[in-house]
Amino acid sequence: MMKKYFLLAFSLLFGLSQSQIIRKYSNEFLNIGAGARGLAMGGAVITNQDDVYSPMWNPAGLMSIERDWQGAAMHAEYFESIAKYDYLAYAKVLEEGVFGVSVVRLGVDNILNTTQMIDSEGNIDYDKITKFSQSDYAAILSYAFRPGGNPKLDVGVNAKIVYRNVGKFANGYGFGFDVGATYRADNGWKFGGMVRDITTTVNFWTINQKELSTVVNGEEFNPAPKDKLELTMPKLNVGASKLFEINSSVYVLPEAGLNVDFAKTASLISTDFASISPYAGAELGYQKMIFVRLGINRFQSITDIEDLKRKVSFQPSAGIGIRYRGLTLDYAITNSGIGGSNFYSNFFSLKLDMGAFRND
């Protein structure tokens, strides 16, 4: 019976994926990541984000929480505070694994609604301009464990519930799953990978056609999309890292890897089947109290709007962190990397590790 239901679900998802409702950049707010440490390192934490922030990078990292619980919060502002990103998370050590719950919001507020600014006779009335917000929310339940008790292998799973709202114009609900794993080799290398939206995340939209339509000179205009269903295709992130101890107080932790989208995008390597972009980052730590981080990712091949020539853009990042007992405060700054723009984004994140407090 279970096999029958599995085949039915697979057939449904496969059939849906053949339609024109697949979006290359659907639910992208869940691909941003969370925690200023990972963002400062350019996302180079697939193998080494070993705390409550790991569900956004690789849920297998939760297994590195050894006792009690951890809580975390992050606030970030994009493009000179136009967009605001918030993250709250909690992780608890259980008998056989680690359970986590995370809440994410990305929103743009005070957007001007001009759909009713022009009346049916073509007259402009600025008093009819209103404001609305566009917000994306997600609740993520995570669980990490060691299959068969293998001390070298950690596995983690995310179950995601998504709610997206565009003022009174539209709202959508979705659900999906992520799966990640890390492996520790005997020579000190650590390998990891995460498949986002492994089952293909589905969003169901409700669109208010009336609010989006307007009449000008007796002719009705309605730009509302007709599709009510949206699919997010899987993405793969893989990486490798190794800790290098300079002396008893100083260490360097570099990681490098690849981000793979199973769609044709502006990545450096792009085909109809998949697009591949590299990333790299490193952390320099002093006595596990003070941290300096650098990273680079989001390599893309773009067209310069001035000379129409193709060039490569990328997103650099940097950050610092400080830890005292079980309390860690991190900061990161990134640049969009597009056309030498000055749009910098700032990230602040806080982590409370109750296990470290009690251990100290």
Q: Would you state the pLDDT for residue 14?
A: 40
* Phi, psi angles (nearest 5°) of residue 36: -65, -25
Q: Which helix (H) or strand (E) holds 8?
A: helix 2-17
For residue 338, the tally of other CB atoms under 10 A from its CB is: 13
- What is the mean pLDDT of each successive set of 10 residues along the chain, which is 360 residues long? 36 40 71 91 95 95 92 84 89 94 91 73 74 90 94 96 88 92 95 93 81 60 66 91 95 95 80 88 95 91 69 88 93 69 79 75
Q: Would you state the pLDDT for residue 239?
A: 96
- Residue 152 CA to residue 142 CA, distance in Å, equals 20
Q: Would you state the pLDDT for residue 91?
A: 96
Within 13 A of 188's CA, how many CA atoms are on the CB side?
Answer: 7
- Residue 130 CA to residue 352 CA, distance in Å, equals 41
- Residue 11 CA to residue 25 CA, distance in Å, equals 23
Q: For 21-356, CATH number?
A: 2.40.160.60
The residues spanned by each domain of the chain are 21-356
For residue 224, is it left (φ>0), alpha (ψ between -120 and 50) or beta?
A: beta
Tens digits of per-residue pLDDT, 291-316? 999 999 988 877 666 666 777 788 89
**DSSP helix/strand/coil, 128:** helix
Tens digits of per-residue pLDDT, 7-52? 333 333 444 444 445 665 677 888 888 999 999 999 999 999 999 9
What is the DSSP secondary-structure string of 131-167? EEEEEEEEEEEEEEE-GGG-TTEEEEEEEEEEEEEET
The answer to whether the beta carbons of residues 190 and 240 sit under 8 Å apart is: yes
Q: Would you state the pLDDT for residue 226?
A: 63
- Residue 120 CA to residue 169 CA, distance in Å, equals 20
* Phi, psi angles (nearest 5°) of residue 62: -60, -25
pTM assigned to the model: 0.82
Q: Would you state the pLDDT for residue 199?
A: 85
Q: Would you state the pLDDT for residue 121?
A: 64
